[in-house]
């Protein structure tokens, strides 16, 4: 693993880091389906880049693992 991936993962792997990452992703629209403006999409791409810098979703194998993890999440009520 290169230093950048290690640094990102160590930053976000703590409980505080996980909460911050979840907040960043939510604020960036990662979980929204109705982003419309160029600015909204730019912010979303920045959030996706954080995941890429953590080594998540940057290879076909990672993407498969990511998708499999989605099915471990319990189904919640719509907001």
Tens-binned pLDDT, residue by residue, of the chain (79 aa): 689 999 999 999 999 999 999 999 999 999 998 989 999 999 999 999 999 999 887 777 788 888 888 899 888 776 5
Q: What is this structure's pTM?
A: 0.80
Burial 22-39 (b: 16+ CB within 10 A, else e): eeebeebebeeeeeeeee
> Are 21 and 50 contacting, i.e. CB atoms less than 8 angstroms apart?
yes
pLDDT at 65: 87
Token digits of residue 27: 């604020």
pLDDT at 67: 87
pLDDT at 79: 56
DSSP-based three-state secondary structure for 58: coil
Cα(10)–Cα(32) distance, rounded to whole angstroms? Answer: 27
pLDDT at 1: 64
Going from N- to C-terminal start, the domains of the chain cover: 3-70
Name the helix (H) or strand (E) containing 74.
none
């Amino acid at each position: 693993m290169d230093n950048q991936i290690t640094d990102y993962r160590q930053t976000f792997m703590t409980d505080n880091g996980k909460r911050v990452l979840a907040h960043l992703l939510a604020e960036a629209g990662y979980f929204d389906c109705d982003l419309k403006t160029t600015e909204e999409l730019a912010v979303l791409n920045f959030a996706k880049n954080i995941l890429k810098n953590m080594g998540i979703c940057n290879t076909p194998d990672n993407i498969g693992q990511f998708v499999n993890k989605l099915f471990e999440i319990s189904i919640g009520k719509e907001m």
